[in-house]
Structures are given as structure tokens and as C-alpha cells.
Amino acid sequence: MMVAKPWLGVGPDGYRFAYGQYAGLKVWDTRIFANSTPLELAADLGLPGLGLVAIFTLLAIGSLVKNSWLGRLGLFEAATLAALVAFGLHGLLDYFLGFHAVFILLWILLAIAVSYRFKPLPDQAGPIQ
């Protein structure tokens, strides 16, 4: 699918509906997902869509990763980073964004990660006014 439609993909959540056509089947189970989140996103959104999701995710967790390298990661920040790493590793072997509870949890974690980009570091904090 990614090779046939590299720019736009088959559409959001289109992998499971287009799978049978690409596999040469006349009847197939439409509850099927790819076994990898990057592959599913590439098939659904095309390479530009996959790239945008990757860039957003890297920007969202960038401050957490930077603070972890500098040794300035608090317990809550470390837990957020660990959860996002677990999501990422799990996503290499499974597609879990089709389940609303997991999808919402991922977006909440990404929102928490983005919020740390705007939190002043202890050495940059000024007096409270």
C-alpha cells in the first residue's frame, strides 16, 4: 500500500478496508490491523503523514529526553518519558491506535510531554511575582 500510494496513503483507518484488495482476497476480515504502528501509519497517511507524526512525537518528547541527558528529570517527568518509550517500543510490534482508550491515553501523555517544553528549569526560574 505504501508503495502504491506513497503520498497520501489509503486514508485514515483505510488499511483494514484496503488490505484484502492488496492481498488478492475477495473476502477478508476488516478488523485486521498492521502489526506495526509505523507501517500502519505509512499505509494510512502516506510517507508525509508518517513523517509529520514522527516529527510531532519527537518534538513532544524532546524536552524530556534533553532533561534526562542533563540529569534534571523529576519523577513525574521520568514516568511520562518511560510511558512514551513503552508506547513506542510496543508500537514497533503492534498497532494499538485503533483502540480508543489506548489512543486517548497516548494523546494525554503527549500533551503532558509538550507541557514540559514550557516549564522553566530550576536554574532558569526567576522570582515569583
Q: Tell me if 8 sits within 8 A of 43, measured CB to CB.
A: no
Residue bearing the bigger pLDDT, 122 or 29: 29
Count of CB atoms situated within 10 Å of the CB of 117: 13
Helices (H), 71-129: 75-93, 100-115
Reduced DSSP (H G I as helix, E B as strand, rest coil) percent helix, strand, coil of the chain, to 5? 65, 0, 35
All three cell numbers of 110, joined, read 503527549
Name the DSSP class of 30.
Answer: T
pLDDT class of 128 with cuts at 50, 70, 90: low
pLDDT of 58-102, one tens digit each? 988 988 888 787 777 788 888 999 999 999 999 999 988 888 898
pLDDT category at 119 given cuts 50, 70, 90 is low
Rounded to two decimals, the pTM is: 0.78
Tens of pLDDT, residue by residue over 18-54, are 988 888 899 998 888 888 999 999 999 999 999 999 9
Among 39, 23, 30, 24, CA closest to 97: 39
For residue 118, give the 3-state DSSP assignment.
Answer: helix
